[in-house]
Structure 1
Amino acid sequence: MNNKRKKALLIIEQCNPDWSSVPLVGYNFYYEISQLCDVTLVTHIRNKAALQKHQEHQDIIYIDESQFSKNYHKFIAALTSIGRKNWPLYIALSYPIYEEFNKQVYQKFKDKVLGKEYDIVHVITPMMPRYPAKIIRACVNTPFILGPVNGGVPFPPGFQKVARQEFAYFNFLRAIGRKLIPGYVETYQKADKILAGSTYTLNLIKDLFKIPKERLELFYENGISKNFFHQKKTNTNNSVINLLFVGRLVPYKGADMLIDAIHNLSDDLRNKIKLTIVGDGSEKVKLENQVKNLGLEKVVSFTGWIKQEETVEYYKQADIFCFPSIREFGGAVVLEAMACGLPCIVANNGGIGEYVTPETGFSIEPKSREYLVKELTAKIQTLVENKDLREKMSAKCYQRAREFEWSKKAKKIVELYQQLLK
């Protein structure tokens, strides 16, 4: 292979540096890959204002949206927000909006791809493994890479009450979509390489589409920016150990279980700790009442919603990160905590259980609510009482998080491009 920079067509429908979650992940992939390749970015018009603030980004094609899609989006957003947000129904009903984008991308770029104007075509978002990419039909002589895709993780059997609260009974729509959405199966069966964001999703794709293992690769979708790393300083004030939770306050994130675990500690241990809950959501008032009813007002505090870039200050002040989310696809907050040297206590279901190793924290099997609360209590006690263990895990967390730097992830992506081009 020569050293000439490769020309990559990156299709990232959700790509926005000003937003969080998937749009921000999409942007970070785009930015870092563009440092190593000549990139043409294709994204949705909704991202234009944010991307145009960065004048260094030049070769961007924005896909417009019809008035029908704008009105339809308002309708389904209102419909699925009655009471608690019904995400499974929202995702299912949103498909026509994505398909409009998908068709336009194909129409605009099929001739260029067929004409081999790009060395590689890479579709990065949407990340849920539910969408087709029509452009693959033009990738006759151009390698096509998909992902990282992540999702499909079920609720643990012992948490069916939470599953109902999160409208999991609408998940049958996934199977219907696989059968009815044109090009869905074709996309997965023809892709030269599929990146999966968790072991569960990798196995799901392999079994659903009978994909040979050489066309699948485990590749976690989340990463960490260099400026987020802050090596933990030794806590000389042993009188208070600071615990931290960062996330949306919704049932499956498990903040209620963490509060119960704190309550189950001995009086002596509770007097040694403070728990800060960073975030907002539908459960906030309920959680505040739980704290009040358990008499934990002096131990547990709520910050409300905090800008993502400001959360680093809370990580820097903490000693232990607790995040018992029972169904987490990406779990970027766990990587953020590790980048700040915080030993992590998580539930082992989805990506976060794979981020946390025995050297960096505890990953608890979510057998039932009672079991998870009991184990949370025990692991908190272990880390509060064992300063040496905390410090050893802190150093290992920092090292582990370094593996997820965005620049390193982009380098691995480009190495994959080169392998496919051979």
Structure 2
Amino acid sequence: MDSEGYSVKRSTSGELDLVPDINSGSLSRCGVTAARSREFRGKSLRPLLIVEAANPEWTSVPLVGWNLARAISSRTNALIVTQARNRGAFLRAGLVPDRDFLIVDNERVAGALHRLSEFVRGGTNKGWTAVTALASLAYYSFEWEVWRLLRERLIDGEFDLVHRITPLSPTSQSWLAPRLKRLGIPFVLGPLNGGLPWPENFLEVRGKEKDRLSMVRGAFSLMPYYSATRRHAAALIAGSRFTMSEFPQECEDRAFLIPENAADPDRFPFQQRDFDGRNLSVAFVGRLVPYKGADMLIEAVARYMGPLKIDVLIIGDGPQREELERQVQARGLQGKVRFAGWVEQKDLAAAVSECQVLASSSVREFGGGAVLEAMCLGLVPIVADYGGPAELIDATSGIAVPFKDRETLIDGFAKAFETLERHPARIAALSAGAGARVRQKYTWNKKASEIVDIYAWVLGGASACRSTTLSFGKGH
């Protein structure tokens, strides 16, 4: 689908890119001119950002939601709608209620389903598919409260579009999508990410994670509003190639690929990493649970028989820690592997200041936020070649380790150490490449800029049609 001013192009890697058309005339769809489209750029643009999970004091999805919403807000006149649990963090960050954000309180439903998920998940840091499934049910109540709170303002045309940023999971459907369509208000969805299949030779790890529900994950397409959510979205953003591949074919001409995670160069300043050919310091950052693969990294260090002195700093904590500590002792690596426990994000740069490499041995990683933060700092990523992290690097910025099973993954990391032993200058080159790649492609500001471009594309095709339907649904 091409519109004057912007063209959607599919690259050889399968990405859908929004390409500026320098010799543009008018945005032809619905007769909207390029000048009209530019009215929706910058601070004059009024998006409603639905960000159920958004919190600068937490990690994972809430931190993604916060960072992306704030970056978009810095470019537009956005209003953020978030869940009541985030109110305190928003206030501490200096945001003003009603001006910058609104609170939606569906805690009666969300809290009850969260307690149920804690009961059925099978242990702390386990059964994440079950947790996501129950959270997706709670999200219906969240959108109902959004509609109740903002229905009249939506009908009155206050917002140019609505963008649901979180939940990130494709299993969370939108009850609002068809209602917004009737009002002529464009609905943007994403980045969506999740559902990456378990590698077939890691079913034992899946069992340890008590992830039984992933075996029937495809049933989420039977959830209410699954088809309507995708059919009525003006644009869908995929956070990974796998999620992109799950979009129905009918969505192809309005689907975009923008990775879920990003990094803040101010918080993660670049430091050139060099290697003397003798001492290699490796960082591991993540929860200590089976699928993250810290045990396989430890085994790879034990298996490496070359002259390098390798030490590993494990940052993170979790139920597998005692098992990992026993493994270190059994393999005689007490002087080579250290456990730092949890480290606050603000302290991460200092914690890894002496490291040259980040090892990401996770066998089922959706996003890869820790990888981007490490690259931003100048660490060289060595990643398992499956899922999100492998999509973030190229040959100039990291090393991807192909694998079929546990043994090939361990051997792959050991061989990566051997490669650095033979070619010590690669550390400096890859360090520079990693830092440059993040700043060129994967900052929150870059992501927000790409999304605002999608807004302009959407409004160029939909805004002129809105006047004919704006009054529809007064009684809804």
**Which interval holds the TM-score relative to the shorter structure?**
over 0.9
Does residue 80 (structure 1) correspond to residue 121 (structure 2)? The answer is yes
Deviation by residue 1:1-45 (Cα, 9 ceiling, x = unmatched): 235620000000001111111101101111111111111111100
Between 142-151 and 73-82, report the one with greater CA deviation: 73-82
Q: Which residue of 2 aligns with 1:161?
A: 204
Match of 1:15 among 24, 37, 54: 54
Between 134-143 and 27-36, report the one with greater CA deviation: 134-143
Q: Which residue of 2 aligns with 1:370?
A: 407
Partners of 1:103 and 1:260 in 2: how far apart? 50
Partners of 2:356 and 2:163 in 1: how far apart? 39
Amino acid at match of 2:419: T
CA RMSD of aligned residues (A): 1.8
Partners of 2:277 and 2:417 in 1: how far apart? 15
User: CA offset at residue 74 of structure 1?
Assistant: 2.5
Between 324-333 and 182-191, report the one with greater CA deviation: 182-191
Match of 1:399 among 436, 451, 460: 436
Does residue 112 (structure 1) correspond to residue 150 (structure 2)? The answer is no
8 Å contact kept, 1:241–1:384? no
Does residue 418 (structure 1) correspond to residue 456 (structure 2)? The answer is yes
Amino acid at match of 2:239: G
Deviation by residue 1:38-76 (Cα, 9 ceiling, x = unmatched): 111111001001001133443311111353543442243
User: CA offset at residue 241 of structure 1?
Assistant: 1.7
Does residue 196 (structure 1) correspond to residue 238 (structure 2)? The answer is yes
Q: Secondary structure at the match of 2:335?
A: coil
Does residue 246 (structure 1) correspond to residue 285 (structure 2)? The answer is yes
What is the 5 A alignment of 1:139-150?
Answer: 139-140=180-181, 141-150=184-193
User: CA offset at residue 121 of structure 1?
Assistant: 0.7
What is the 5 A alignment of 1:319-334?
Answer: 319-334=356-371
8 Å contact kept, 2:177–2:233? yes
Q: Secondary structure at the match of 2:283?
A: strand
8 Å contact kept, 2:272–2:432? no
Partners of 1:267 and 1:396 in 2: how far apart? 26
8 Å contact kept, 1:111–1:138? no
Does residue 293 (structure 1) correspond to residue 330 (structure 2)? The answer is yes
Q: Which residue of 2 aligns with 1:174?
A: 217
Q: Secondary structure at the match of 1:328?
A: coil
Q: Which residue of 1 aligns with 2:87?
A: 48
Partners of 2:110 and 2:201 in 1: how far apart? 39
User: CA offset at residue 229 of structure 1?
Assistant: 3.5
Partners of 1:374 and 1:183 in 2: how far apart? 45
User: CA offset at residue 83 of structure 1?
Assistant: 6.4
TM-score with structure 1 length normalisation?
A: 0.94
Change (3 A) 1:251 1:9: same
8 Å contact kept, 2:192–2:237? yes
Q: Which has the higher contact order (CA 8 A, sep 6+)?
A: 2
Q: Which residue of 1 aligns with 2:164?
A: 123
Change (3 A) 1:214 1:160: same
Deviation by residue 1:312-344 (Cα, 9 ceiling, x = unmatched): 113322111111111101110110111111111
What is the 5 A alignment of 1:24-43?
Answer: 24-43=63-82
8 Å contact kept, 2:273–2:378? no
Q: Which residue of 1 aligns with 2:471?
A: none
Match of 1:281 among 272, 294, 318: 318
Amino acid at match of 2:454: L
Between 78-87 and 220-229, report the one with greater CA deviation: 78-87
Percent identical across equivalent pairs?
33
Give the aligned length. 416
8 Å contact kept, 1:12–1:42? yes
Partners of 2:110 and 2:192 in 1: how far apart? 24
Q: Which residue of 1 aligns with 2:33?
A: none
Amino acid at match of 1:157: E
Partners of 2:56 and 2:93 in 1: how far apart? 9
User: CA offset at residue 211 of structure 1?
Assistant: 2.8
Match of 1:305 among 342, 367, 377: 342
8 Å contact kept, 1:15–1:23? yes
User: CA offset at residue 307 of structure 1?
Assistant: 1.2
Q: Secondary structure at the match of 2:437?
A: helix
Does residue 210 (structure 1) correspond to residue 253 (structure 2)? The answer is no
Partners of 1:84 and 1:343 in 2: how far apart? 28
8 Å contact kept, 2:230–2:251? no
8 Å contact kept, 2:235–2:255? yes
User: CA offset at residue 238 of structure 1?
Assistant: 5.3
Partners of 2:58 and 2:328 in 1: how far apart? 31
Partners of 1:65 and 1:120 in 2: how far apart? 23
What is the 5 A alignment of 1:219-230?
Answer: 219-230=258-269
Amino acid at match of 2:327: Q
Q: Secondary structure at the match of 1:349?
A: coil
Partners of 1:393 and 1:108 in 2: how far apart? 50
Which sections of structure 1, spanning at least 5 residues, go unmatched? none
Between 212-221 and 124-133, report the one with greater CA deviation: 212-221
